[in-house]
Amino acid sequence: MAALSVFDKALEPVYHQEREVKYGLVDWLTTVDHKKIGVLYGVAGLFYLLVGGLEALLFRIQIAKPDQNIFVGDTFNGLVTMHATTMVFMAVMPLIAAFSNYFVPLMIGARDVAFPRMNAFSWWTFCFGSILLNSSLIFAEFPAAGWTGYAPLTTKAMSPSAGIDFWWAGLTMLAISSMVAGVNFVVTILNMRAPGMTLMRVPVLVWMMMVIQFLLAFSFPPVAVGLILLSFDRTFGTVFYEYTMGGDPHLWQHLFWVFGHPEVYVLILPSMGIVSEILPVFARRPLFGQHAVIFSGIFIGFVGFGVWGHHMFTAGMGPIADAVFASTTAIIAIPTGVKIFNWLGTLWGAKMTYPTPMIFALSFIPLFTIGGLSGIMHANAPLDLQQHDSYFVVAHFHYVLVGGALMGLFAGFYFYMPKVTGKLMNEALGKVHFWLFAIGLNLTFWPMHDLGNRGMPRRIYTYPADAGWNFDNLLATSGVFLMAAGTLVFVYNILTSLKNGKAAGRDPWDACTLEWLADSPPKAHNFDFTPIVFSERPLWDHKHTADMAIPVPAAAEEIHMPSYSWKPMWVSGGIVLILVGLLLLHTIPFSWLISVAGGLSIIGSLYAWVTEPV
Amino acid sequence: MANVAQPRSQSSVPEGVAGALPASNRSAVRRLWPALTLLAWIAVAALCGCSNEPAPRDTHNAISESGDISSFFYQMLLWLDVAIGAIVIAAWGYALVRFKRATGDDTLPAQNHGDAKLELIWTAIPTVIVIAITVPMLVGVFRLAKRPDQNQQTIEIDVTGKQWWWEFQYKSGTANGLHTANEVHVQAGTAVVMNMTSSDVIHAWWVPRLTGKRDATPGRSYPLYFSAREPGIYDGQCAELCGASHALMGTKLFVHPPAKEVEVEYNGAKVKLDSYETWVKEQLAPAAAPAGADMERGAKLFKDKTCPTCHIVKGLEGAESASPSMTTGPNLTHVGSRMTIAANTLPNTADNLAKWILDPQAVKPGAKMTKIAMTPDEAKAIAAFLTSLK
């Protein structure tokens, strides 16, 4: 049994670094530090969470009552499209990337990711891509074909507005960003673990991050192909989705959903990981059946590639395809159930305290269970014919993504912010946030089950007063205001705790894993010495088990730290130029020269990248 | 394994963040919040249940066997879900109350890492449940995909989804050649085959009380089979986002009695429904010749304002040649007999028709019908003529 204060005695490592660190704005533009990139992702994710929430608030106001005329037709469809696109690709995914960037290296005892400049490249590509996508509002109008962008509604003939062009261009950049990040983190987790951290000692959150990075690396290529085909159709007049000339609208649906369903697990698995980290800390005992939780996550990742057809039961794939996809989908229920039971097993016989991160993590269990149980209904193909594209399915995926993914991410924020900022977040505000949000989300999404049963299709901007949907819609819209208020309290809490929060110290929660060994906030090199791992709870056992103290070396380590670099941003900028040239192709003569300049600048920057000393 | 009482670590903030709240508040919050959460849910669930709004499009009040199959699985899975959900949430709520740490208790709980037997059990049970619900589901999938018997009398209808209305072309039996729009009529107890396709983007035809939806995909044709039981009038609409006026792409299903006319209730009012064959006979007949000067003026204006470029009126000279463009808009031969116009968007009155003709885009954003310059008076004359086409 040893105290954490032994780590204070460790000597600072001796740096080998090619270039001195820059400061101020230049530092943020050129950083390759996984922690700073994580903060950038986090700030962007929170910003887009507010944007996507505002979009939802606006269109919910339009359908709060029947026969309203505030946001009509494609204005409404644009808000719906951008709400989903923003929440999936620009809010939840970057928030996951924030946790993954900041904490994966810390949790495995590494100093950075495997490819720090590629990591910066992922960030800048995401950043530029999200700006490009949203700039559609300035230069054209919002894309209005739904976040699923079903062809042929997205073709030039059906959607002449340039909104769709910004949509494919922006999403293509986000896809590149995710694929690169996927490869980077798989390599990091497999190769850079601290000595003694065997795969089965890797924390559950890191395991879930590794599963989703595989999913990103393998599921984004199909949708990237789909988007490129769409861009060819719209820009060069090819006919991949043009049925009159031999193209096939179903091609898009398959390419989209073979990405789209693994993507769902990309959104939910990290939150499952966060919950699996938080519950044991405040229950003060190990995660029940940790190996089962890890393997069920891996299993979900594998099977997740074989279920996409359940989004297409109404498309007419035929009974055999329907039967196969319905069966594979039902199988997902098994590993998911295993996870839920193991979390309950962790709580059973525990001695729990209930600070804000624990409250959010605990609420994940029943909220996600509700979403999972309605998912069992959708796996039933005959029943899904009724529920598909109805509000029932809207209720289902919002329980999973808001009650599940987002509540898990909120839990992660309250749990990990003290490590990032060195300051504890305010508990009272945290509880206010929780109550507003938890009540709001149930008030919003629970009545949507009823709306679906009453036959209300999704994505309709108006409905008649006699369809029987008035009461539920009013309830749903009122809940959105509570969620919005809760989110504002959350943002206020982050901002005030930066200034007034109590000092967190190294390990404010009496936690189990390596990230709490680092300072709060961690030094640029994370750890003064490379920790040696003896168990799946290295820090807990250091504190609580007599012969498992993490040894502190007497001598200072010599380490190599990567230097700042402009090159990742240049390469991302080159991609933007290529896309801008294509977007302007039919508007400004010779704009293809912009694309050529972008291509050349990518080649030049890549040459500078590989020859740059690090 | 350190399974004995241990003093808490000497970390810099000893009590964790729980120390940030006064002790009395903390215990109150701890005790109350699971109960409050549960209450909030029950309140919202009860609110949905308490709403005594009628549900004219209830997906679980089916009028066909295929609709019953969906409803059967809903009932089955609902009870299963309620049972599983109740067990999970009860265990969760119990754990929150029972296993909270007492103030001042610094001992550690048992540090066990799992229990192989227990984990095997709770992997096996869901596996058994999944198999148990998958087998009947597979039976249901193939049942729904079964084409009605060849020898049986069927009504076959080609359905084309168009931005933003539905075209119906009858293919079999007495109704062969019948061409109508938005409101589709079938006979109770007779098998129906609907071949779904589209001429622009993907739509999905959905009448919730009838059965599940079916996509109408351009370039492809997929069948939907059903046999409606109860005579009546049922509302539905497009369920696949199809552009600006997706919300206003409604449809109506009329289920006629096989023999005598019956009275059915629709939206609280009594409506008479002829027998199916009577309806077919009326619809196959050409439009009545315009009677009187007002009607003749309306018919002339209808042609002068180029309406027949897109709309057929069988029996009206100059508006019945079947050039391909003439299915761009709905067949208007018996438009006066329809209950609604603009795809179930407005009640079919002369005033509404005039409003629609004058400015279609004001009724339906992005509507493809050309806004043709005319005076309100001219629009009214055309509307009066069209209303007379019973």
Could you tell me if A604 and A490 lie in one domain?
no
> B213 and A352 in contact by Cβ < 8 A?
no
Contact B340, B183 (CB under 8 A): yes
Query: Strands B191-198, B340-341: parallel, antiparallel or unpaired by DSSP?
Result: unpaired
Assign a CATH topology to domain B285-387: Immunoglobulin-like (2.60.40)
Q: Which two tokens stand for residue B56?
A: 């004219």
Residue of B nearest to A244 (CA): B219
Q: Which residue has the tokens 């590629």?
A: A118
- For chain A, which residues score pLDDT lower than 50? none
Give residue-wise pLDDT tens across range A443-491: 999 999 999 999 999 999 999 999 999 999 999 999 999 999 999 999 9
Q: What residues in B contact A462, CB-CB < 8 Å? A: 247-248
The CATH code of domain B154-283 reads 2.60.40.420
Q: What's the confidence (pLDDT) of residue B20?
A: 43
Contact B201, B249 (CB under 8 A): no
How far is residue B209 CA from its own chain's centroid? 8
Could you tell me if A545 and A606 lie in one domain?
no
Q: In this complex, which of B51, B134, B267 lies closest to A327 when CB atoms are compared? A: B134
Report the C-alpha gap between B206 and B210 in whole angstroms.
8
> A353 and B219 in contact by Cβ < 8 A?
no
Could you tell me if A539 and A466 lie in one domain?
yes
Distance from CA of B335 to the nearest CA of A (A): 22
Q: What residues in A contact B9, CB-CB < 8 Å? A: 3-4, 507, 510, 543-544
Q: Using 50, 70 and 90 to split pLDDT, how confident is the model at B50?
A: low
Q: What's the confidence (pLDDT) of residue A175?
A: 97
Look at phi and psi of residue A320 and say left if phi exceeds 0, alpha if psi is from -120 to 50, else beta: alpha
Q: Over 80: is that where the pLDDT of B19 sits?
A: no
Residue of A nearest to B123 (CA): A338
Q: For A526, which DSSP code?
A: B
Q: Using 50, 70 and 90 to split pLDDT, how confident is the model at B22?
A: very low
Q: Which two tokens stand for residue B324?
A: 């391909």
Cβ burial of A424 (10 Å; 0-12, 13-18, 19+) is buried
Q: In this complex, which of A427, A460, A471 lies closest to B21 when CB atoms are compared? A: A427
Could you tell me if A158 and A268 lie in one domain?
yes
Report the C-alpha gap between B53 and B30 in whole angstroms.
38
Contact A469, A454 (CB under 8 A): yes
Q: What's the confidence (pLDDT) of residue A276?
A: 97
Q: Which two tokens stand for residue B390?
A: 């019973």
Question: Which residues of A have a catalytic role annotated?
Answer: 83, 112, 147, 177-178, 261, 263, 265, 276, 310-311, 336, 339, 458
Distance from CA of B183 to the nearest CA of A (A): 17
Report the C-alpha gap between A385 and A372 in whole angstroms.
18
> B16 and A315 in contact by Cβ < 8 A?
no
How many domains does chain A contain in total?
A: 2
Q: What residues in B contact A334, CB-CB < 8 Å? A: 123, 126-127, 130
Residue of A282, A441, A544, A545 best to disrupt the B interface, most CBs of B under 10 A: A544
Residue of A341, A396, A461, A517 best to disrupt the B interface, most CBs of B under 10 A: A341
Q: In this complex, which of B40, B202, B245 lies closest to A439 when CB atoms are compared? A: B40
Backbone angles phi, psi at B100, to 5 degrees: -85, 150
Report the C-alpha gap between B230 and B67 in whole angstroms.
12
Q: In this complex, which of A285, A334, A387 lies closest to B130 when CB atoms are compared? A: A334
ipTM value for the complex: 0.93
Q: What residues in A contact B243, CB-CB < 8 Å? A: 74, 77, 144, 153, 158-159
Assign 3-class secondary structure to A401-441. HHHHHHHHHHHHHHHHHHHHHCECCCHHHHHHHHHHHHHHH
Could you tell me if A513 and A581 lie in one domain?
no
Q: What residues in A contact B127, CB-CB < 8 Å? A: 334
Could you tell me if A486 and A533 lie in one domain?
yes
Could you tell me if A259 and A366 lie in one domain?
yes
How far is CA A111 from each of CA A26, A130, A163, A520, rounded to the nearest angstrom?
A: 22, 29, 42, 15
Residues 276-315 (A) with a CB less than 8 A from some CB of B: 283-292, 314-315
> B13 and A424 in contact by Cβ < 8 A?
yes
Crossing angle for the helix pair A567-583 and A163-191, to the nearest 10 degrees = 150
Q: Over 60: is that where the pLDDT of B127 sits?
A: yes
Q: What residues in A contact B242, CB-CB < 8 Å? A: 153
Contact A532, A550 (CB under 8 A): yes
Give the list of residues 6+ apart from residue A597 with CB closer than 8 angstroms, or none: A577, A581
Q: Which residue has the tokens 């059990």?
A: B121
Q: What residues in B contact A469, CB-CB < 8 Å? A: 53
Give residue-wise pLDDT tens across range B242-254: 999 999 999 999 9
Could you tell me if A579 and A546 lie in one domain?
no
Scored b (16 or more CB within 10 A) or e, A56-80 reads bbbbbebbbeeeeeebbbbbbbbbb
Three-class secondary structure of residue B254 per DSSP: strand
- Which run of H or E residues covers position A246? none
Q: Which domain holds residue A579?
A: 568-614
Which residues sit opposite A526 in a β-bridge? A523
Distance from CA of B239 to the nearest CA of A (A): 5
Give residue-wise pLDDT tens across range B166-220: 999 999 889 999 999 999 999 999 999 999 999 999 999 999 999 999 999 999 9
Q: How far apart are the first and last CA of chain B?
A: 87
Residue of B nearest to A501 (CA): B20
Q: A515 CB near a chain B CB, below 8 Å?
A: no
A–B CB contacts, 8 A cutoff, strictly below: 390
Report the C-alpha gap between A383 and B69 in whole angstroms.
8
Assess whether the region B154-283 and the region B285-387 belong to the same CATH fold.
yes
CATH of the domain at A74: 1.20.210.10
What residue spans of A379-516 are helical by DSSP H? 381-387, 391-398, 407-421, 427-453, 470-500
Q: A249 CB near a chain B CB, below 8 Å?
A: yes
Q: For A5, which DSSP code?
A: G
Q: Over 50: is that where the pLDDT of B14 sits?
A: no
Cis peptide before B164 (omega within 30 of 0): yes
Residue of B nearest to A368 (CA): B85
Q: What residues in A contact B144, CB-CB < 8 Å? A: 319, 382, 385
Q: What residues in A contact B365, CB-CB < 8 Å? A: 72-74
Could you tell me if A602 and A485 lie in one domain?
no
Residues 5-34 (A) with a CB less than 8 A from some CB of B: 5
Q: What's the confidence (pLDDT) of residue B7?
A: 39
> A369 and B89 in contact by Cβ < 8 A?
yes
> B70 and A340 in contact by Cβ < 8 A?
no
How far is CA B346 from each of CA A59, A254, A544, B233, B349, rounded to the nearest angstrom?
A: 23, 37, 73, 16, 8
Scored b (16 or more CB within 10 A) or e, B267-291 reads eeeeeebbbbeebbeebbeebeebe
Give the list of residues 6+ apart from residue A220 with CB closer than 8 angstroms, or none: A175, A178, A179, A182, A259
Q: Over 70: is that where the pLDDT of B9 sits?
A: no
* All structural domains of chain B with their residue ranges: 154-283, 285-387
Distance from CA of B301 to the nearest CA of A (A): 31
Q: A330 CB near a chain B CB, below 8 Å?
A: yes
Cβ burial of A495 (10 Å; 0-12, 13-18, 19+) is exposed
What residue spans of chain B are helical by DSSP H? 23-50, 65-98, 116-144, 276-284, 293-304, 350-358, 360-363, 376-387
Q: What's the confidence (pLDDT) of residue B41?
A: 67
> A337 and B12 in contact by Cβ < 8 A?
no
> A352 and B96 in contact by Cβ < 8 A?
yes
How far is CA A242 from each of CA A383, B52, B55, B214, B217, rounded to the nearest angstrom?
A: 31, 47, 39, 21, 12
Could you tell me if A346 and A402 lie in one domain?
yes
Could you tell me if A535 and A598 lie in one domain?
no
Average of pLDDT values for B64-73? 95
Output the CA torsion B263→B267→B269→B272 (10° steps): -30
> B243 and A158 in contact by Cβ < 8 A?
yes
Average pLDDT of every residue of chain B: 88
Could you tell me if A494 and A589 lie in one domain?
no
Q: In this complex, which of B126, B239, B247 lies closest to A462 when CB atoms are compared? A: B247
Distance from CA of A111 to the nearest CA of B (A): 23
Report the C-alpha gap between B380 and B390 in whole angstroms.
17
Average of pLDDT values for B122-147? 94
